[in-house]
Amino acid sequence: MKLPTDIDKNPDCLPRNEMKVAVIAGAGPAGLTAAAELLDAGGVLPVVFEADSIVGGISRTVNYRGNRIDIGGHRFFSKNDRIMYWWTRVMPLEGDPEVADRAMLRRNRVSRIYYLRSFFDYPVKMSMQTIRNLGLWRTVRAGLSYIAATIAPRKEQSLEDFYINRFGKVLYSMFFEDYTEKVWGVHPSRLSADWGVQRVKGLSIMAVLKDMARSGFGRKDASLEQKQTETSLIESFIYPKHGPGQLWEYVAEDIQKRGARLEMNMRVKTVNCRDGRVRSVTVESADGSEREVSCDWLLSSMPVKDLIEALRGIEVPDNVRQAASVLPYRDFITVGLLVDRLKIGCGNPVPDTWIYIQERDVRLGRLQIFNNWSPYMVADPAKVWIGLEYFCIEGDEMWNMSDSDFINMAKAELEKIGIIDSADVLDAVRIKMTKAYPGYFGSYSEMPVIREFLSSIPNLYCIGRNGQHRYNNMDHSMLTAMEAVKLIRSGSTDQRALWNVNTEQDYHESVLSEGPAASSADRDGDPD
């Protein structure tokens, strides 16, 4: 299977007799996309080193006794046509009997907010149900607060300012403030407004009202493109039959058939430079043995913090090294629970793919219902397979809890807010992910300095979410890989276009879907 490419339209590809090697650190969406694109360009046999035993990065699918977990929730949707084409070439849309086992399913997005022990639609609609849930006085205060924010907007120095300007202080305090702090561990007043610019650029009360008007007059585009709809409001997406990891497993298989090497459980320990260029990497296997691998290019999706620490043979300025060493990350824990039934909603399960838990008396951030992502995610469709998502820092109290204690806490929290009875839990598993989400606080403000230094190494290309310390979705991570391959093909050392992916896009996600959420607005994550 030859993956989609634009090489045919751009013949300036690498000479096929120059069998050079690019070393790619990481077998997530960025790394695997880069490997496939390099193979399509010709002349390159990439080597991919992955420290984990599973491909896909945070876009993996974990299989626990036949029940599959999507880490963070990944809607497959992009306003970039090339990305949509790329995905559907790997996994065609359902309906073709020849690809039944590897089909993309068409799904409707249903996601709601759980607040005050009640469900709120997303986007919030000014319906009688919403008014009943909030109460008339809260509703009036929210409206007046929004008007006040439009009359006298704040200077946007923090994420708090950003949200208040778009939703008003009352809605901010209801759906953004405490929840953001739950997710990131810091108050929104200490988070950079860059987060909002990148993730919620087009979403506001006005965007929601316009979307409601379009829907009400029947003008909403139901196609997968929906390019005039704010991404957070899009109602349909595609999804691999067995979760996002299924697609990346196919890509990993394909690149190996075409000559790439994929080495799992292999950590890039040092990046060795000479004369200002990367010359090789030293990799360490699970048993502690090491070897050095030369390379002409290094495409790195390693966390920036780890990459700077790994550099050898090049002088790293003290301010760069210091800023990188304390770059913030948020780590992630999922608890999978197999239950007989849920206590909420009229159906079993309820129709939601995910539910945002805005309740302040629990640490739970979001609840996924995997049956609704795909019925093939569950071994026994008569049971309900759910994922409870928590956000923490590696080494903190939650991270260090034993699996049994953490699972018991998760069950108790879900019972406390009336979603399950603990007695209905049939099985459970806990999964940890380190450095799942780059933080927009602390030394993040020094990223321009770090970026400038990394860009000065002409054959080093930082790609993906952690590679650029940017909260990219899956499609944006793939676009960084494609951009890096274009630079390699052209011989350009100007990396501005690479670092500008997802800074000047015509669409941005808001912050409650693939991965941690920061508001009652819904984004993908990986989201998705």
What confidence score (pLDDT) does residue 521 get?
A: 33
More confident residue, 57 or 43: 57
| Residues 496-507: tens digit of each pLDDT | 999 999 875 444
* Least confident interval from 130-134, 158-162, 266-270, 382-386: 130-134
Q: Which residues contact 151 (CB under 8 A, 6 or more apart)?
A: none
Is pLDDT of 422 > 70? yes
Is pLDDT of 100 > 90? no
| Residues 284-306: tens digit of each pLDDT | 999 999 999 999 999 999 999 99
- Residue among 299, 358, 368 at smallest CA distance from 173: 358
> Percent of the chain at pLDDT above 70?
82
Is pLDDT of 447 > 70? yes
Q: Which residues contact 228 (CB under 8 A, 6 or more apart)?
A: 221
More confident residue, 268 or 133: 268
| Residues 363-397: tens digit of each pLDDT | 999 999 999 999 999 999 999 999 999 999 999 99
Is pLDDT of 218 > 60? no
pTM of the model: 0.86
> Percent of the chain at pLDDT above 90?
64
- DSSP class per residue in 130-172: HHHHH-HHHHHHHHHHHHHHHHSPPP-SSHHHHHHHHH-HHHH
Look up residue 165 and give its two tokens: 């300007």
Q: How confident is the model at residue 196 (pLDDT cuts 50, 70, 90)?
A: low
Q: What gap in Å lies between CA 363 and CA 114, rounded to an integer?
A: 13
Q: How confident is the model at residue 316 (pLDDT cuts 50, 70, 90)?
A: very high
More confident residue, 93 or 198: 93
Look up residue 76 and give its two tokens: 């497959």
Which amino acid is residue 299, in one-letter code? L
What confidence score (pLDDT) does residue 204 get?
A: 53
**H or E, element range at 397:** helix 397-400
Q: How confident is the model at residue 85 (pLDDT cuts 50, 70, 90)?
A: very high
| Residues 230-256: tens digit of each pLDDT | 444 467 899 999 999 999 999 999 999
